[in-house]
Amino acid sequence: MVTEVLYAWRLSPCYFNPKLFQWVTDMKIRERWINLLHKAATGTRKTRILLTPFGLIIFGMFSGFFVLTAILVDKLLGLPGLLPKVLRFPVFVLAVGLGIIVTVWSAFHFLKVKGTPVPFNPPPKLVNTGPYRYVRNPMLTGVFLILFGVGFGLNSLSLVLVFTPLYVLLNVWELKHIEEPELVRRLGDEYIEYRQKTPMFIPGRRLNQEAQA
């Protein structure tokens, strides 16, 4: 089983070799992305509104890519299912339902201050109400739950054990190296203090503490 899962990982288009990872993490490239995001986030309202659907489409395609790739890998390798349907369905309903609630609740608190979940069109100020009192990225927590639940709904071994964890890791990398530096630049000490006090995804847990110093 472990061998099959590792083989699925290597077949994935998301499998990074060291040279590619080094290229992606190059400081100049990251700075360009941060500058681009900052320019959009602090641009005119018209520009931000125009970029919002573009950001949503990119995020949707990125998330859908992982689901479709997992389905393809499952079929290609003939991976076994996770659980019998009678056991999978409750997990699917619970995870997806909870994920939707958390995501909608989080988006509501952004919309209340005339912002959106899209980094190109963020709230004009720090949001630390609702779920943001407990974690910095509750919306992504909700998305992770949805993706995990979909894995059970599709009976996809690779989506639950390979591609959802990979999806989480890539989002953590992007948040730490691109979005959060932009937030520090835009919101200053207020965000730094919030980041030091508030976990990234899980209430009560300090994840990636080296990034909080």
> DSSP class of residue 194?
H
- What does the angle CA 113 – CA 117 – CA 121 come to, to the nearest 5 degrees? 70
What does pLDDT average to over the chain? 85
**pLDDT per residue over 36-63, tens digit each?**
889 988 888 888 899 899 999 999 999 9
44: its two tokens: 């005119």
Measured CA to CA, the distance from residue 202 to residue 213 in angstroms comes to 18
Residue matched to tokens 């299912």: 81
Q: What Rg, from alpha-carbon coordinates, does the chain have?
A: 18
Question: H helices of 27-84, where?
Answer: 27-41, 45-77
Q: How confident is the model at residue 26 (pLDDT cuts 50, 70, 90)?
A: low
**Predicted TM-score (pTM) of this structure:** 0.79
25 CA to centre of own chain: 18
- Per the structure, the count of domains in the chain is 1
Percent of the chain with pLDDT over 70: 83
**Within 13 Å and on the Cβ side, how many CA atoms surround 180?**
19
pLDDT at residue 12 above 70? Answer: no
**Residue 66: CATH number of its domain:** 1.20.120
> DSSP class of residue 202?
S
Tell me which residue range forms the domain holding 152. Answer: 2-211
* For range 77-95, the mean pLDDT: 89
Measured CA to CA, the distance from residue 154 to residue 72 in angstroms comes to 12
200 CA to centre of own chain: 11
